[in-house]
Structure 1
Amino acid sequence: MSTQTLSHKPVGLMQRFASACTTLVQRFLPDPFLFAAILTFVVFLVAMPVTKQNPLQMVDAFAGGFWKLLAFSMQMALVVVTGHAMASAPVFRRGLSSLAHSVKTPGQAILLVTTVSAVSCWVNWGFGLVVGAIFARELAIRVRGVDYRLLIASAYTGFLFWHAGLSGSIPLALASGSNLEAVTAGAVLSPVPVSETLFASMNLVIIAALFVTLPLLNRSMHPMPNEVITIAPETLDNEVKTDQDESAELTPAARLENSVWVSRLLAALGFTYVISYFYENGFALNLNIVNFIFLFTAILLHGTPKRLIAAVAEGTRNTSGILLQFPFYAGIMGMMVAKGPEGSSLAGAMSDFFVNISNEQTFPLFTFISAGIVNFFVPSGGGQWAVQAPIMMPAGEALGVPAAKTAMAIAWGDAWTNMIQPFWALPALSIAGLSARDIMGFCLVSLFVSGAIIAMGLLLF
Structure 2
Amino acid sequence: MLKLISKPAVKLVERYLPDPYIFVLLLTLIAAVAAIAVERQTPLAVLRMWGDGFWGLLTFSMQMLLVLVTGFMLASSPPVKRILQKIAGTAKSPGGAIILVTLVSLAASWINWGFGLVVGALFAKELARLIKVDYRLLVASAYSGFVVWHGGLAGSVPLTIATEGHFSADQIGVIGTGSTIFAFFNLAIVICLFIAVPLVNRMMLPDEKDSVYVDPKLLDDEPEPVGRITRPAEKLENSMPLALLVGVPGLLFLLDHFLLRGGSLNLNVVNFMFLFLAIVLHRTPRNLLTSLNEAIKGGAGIVIQFPFYAGIMAIMVQSGLAQSMSEWLVSFATANSLPFWSFISAGIVNLFVPSGGGQWAVQAPVMLPAAEALGADIARVAMAVAWGDAWTNLLQPFWALPVLAIAGLKAKDIMGFCLIQLLITGIIISVGLVWF
1:335 maps to which residue?
Answer: 315
C-alpha distance 127-283 of structure 1, shift in aligned 2 (>3 A) = farther
2:149 maps to which residue?
Answer: 162
Deviation at 1:91, TM superposition (A): 2.7
Deviation at 1:281, TM superposition (A): 5.2
Deviation at 1:176, TM superposition (A): 0.4
1:227 maps to which residue?
Answer: 210
> What CA distance in whole angstroms lies between the structure 2 residues aligned with 1:91 and 1:193?
38
* Paired residue type of 2:98: I
* Paired residue type of 1:319: G
- Which portions of structure 1, spanning 4 or more consecutive aligned residues, are displaced by more than 6 angstroms? none
Deviation at 1:89, TM superposition (A): 2.2
> What CA distance in whole angstroms lies between the structure 2 residues aligned with 1:177 and 1:50?
37
1:171 maps to which residue?
Answer: 158
> What CA distance in whole angstroms lies between the structure 2 residues aligned with 1:175 and 1:28?
42
Deviations 1:91-119 (A, max 9, x none): 32222111111211011111111111111
> What CA distance in whole angstroms lies between the structure 2 residues aligned with 1:245 and 1:187?
65
TM-score, with structure 2 as normaliser:
0.98
Query: Among residues 249, 256, 268, which one is paired with 1:288 in the alignment?
Result: 268
CA RMSD in angstroms, aligned pairs only: 1.3
Deviation at 1:280, TM superposition (A): 3.4
1:6 maps to which residue?
Answer: none
Deviation at 1:306, TM superposition (A): 1.4
Deviations 1:343-386 (A, max 9, x none): xx000110110121111221111110000000000000011100
Report whether the alignment pairs 1:369 with 2:344: yes
Deviation at 1:68, TM superposition (A): 0.7
Deviation at 1:171, TM superposition (A): 0.3
TM-score, with structure 1 as normaliser:
0.92
Deviations 1:267-288 (A, max 9, x none): 1111111111121355732211
> What CA distance in whole angstroms lies between the structure 1 residues aligned with 2:60 and 2:223?
28
Query: Among residues 182, 203, 216, which one is paired with 2:199 in the alignment?
Result: 216
Query: Among residues 210, 220, 224, which one is paired with 1:241 in the alignment?
Result: 224
**Runs of at least 5 residues in structure 2 that lack an aligned partner in the other structure:** none
* Conserved? CA contact 2:160–2:166, under 8 Å: no
> What CA distance in whole angstroms lies between the structure 2 residues aligned with 1:89 and 1:203?
35
* Paired residue type of 1:224: D
* Paired residue type of 1:222: L
Deviation at 1:441, TM superposition (A): 0.3
> What CA distance in whole angstroms lies between the structure 2 residues aligned with 1:303 and 1:239?
15
Q: What is the aligned-residue identity percentage?
A: 50
> What CA distance in whole angstroms lies between the structure 1 residues aligned with 2:72 and 2:112?
17
Query: Among residues 14, 17, 21, which one is paired with 1:33 in the alignment?
Result: 21
> What CA distance in whole angstroms lies between the structure 1 residues aligned with 2:334 and 2:74?
50
2:335 maps to which residue?
Answer: 360
> What CA distance in whole angstroms lies between the structure 1 residues aligned with 2:165 and 2:8?
46
Larger mean CA deviation between 93-102 and 214-223 belongs to 93-102
Deviation at 1:240, TM superposition (A): 2.2
Query: Among residues 402, 407, 412, which one is paired with 1:432 in the alignment?
Result: 407
> What CA distance in whole angstroms lies between the structure 2 residues aligned with 1:107 and 1:282?
42
> What CA distance in whole angstroms lies between the structure 2 residues aligned with 1:181 and 1:98?
47
Q: 1:52-63 to 2 correspondence within 5 Å? A: 52-63=40-51
Query: Among residues 63, 77, 95, which one is paired with 1:107 in the alignment?
Result: 95
> What CA distance in whole angstroms lies between the structure 1 residues aligned with 2:414 and 2:159?
30
Deviations 1:332-353 (A, max 9, x none): 00000114xxxxx000110110
> What CA distance in whole angstroms lies between the structure 1 residues aligned with 2:166 and 2:110?
26
Q: 1:3-22 to 2 correspondence within 5 Å? A: 13-22=1-10
Deviation at 1:458, TM superposition (A): 1.6
1:412 maps to which residue?
Answer: 387
> What CA distance in whole angstroms lies between the structure 2 residues aligned with 1:459 and 1:122?
22
1:313 maps to which residue?
Answer: 293
- Give the 3-state SS of the residue equivalent to 2:168 in structure 1: helix
* Paired residue type of 2:311: G
* Conserved? CA contact 1:180–1:191, under 8 Å: no
* Paired residue type of 2:360: W
- Give the 3-state SS of the residue equivalent to 1:422 in structure 2: coil
C-alpha distance 283-163 of structure 1, shift in aligned 2 (>3 A) = farther
> What CA distance in whole angstroms lies between the structure 2 residues aligned with 1:281 and 1:224?
54
1:149 maps to which residue?
Answer: 136
* Paired residue type of 2:194: F
Report the count of equivalent residues: 436
- Give the 3-state SS of the residue equivalent to 1:229 in structure 2: coil
**Runs of at least 5 residues in structure 1 that lack an aligned partner in the other structure:** 1-12, 340-344
1:3 maps to which residue?
Answer: none
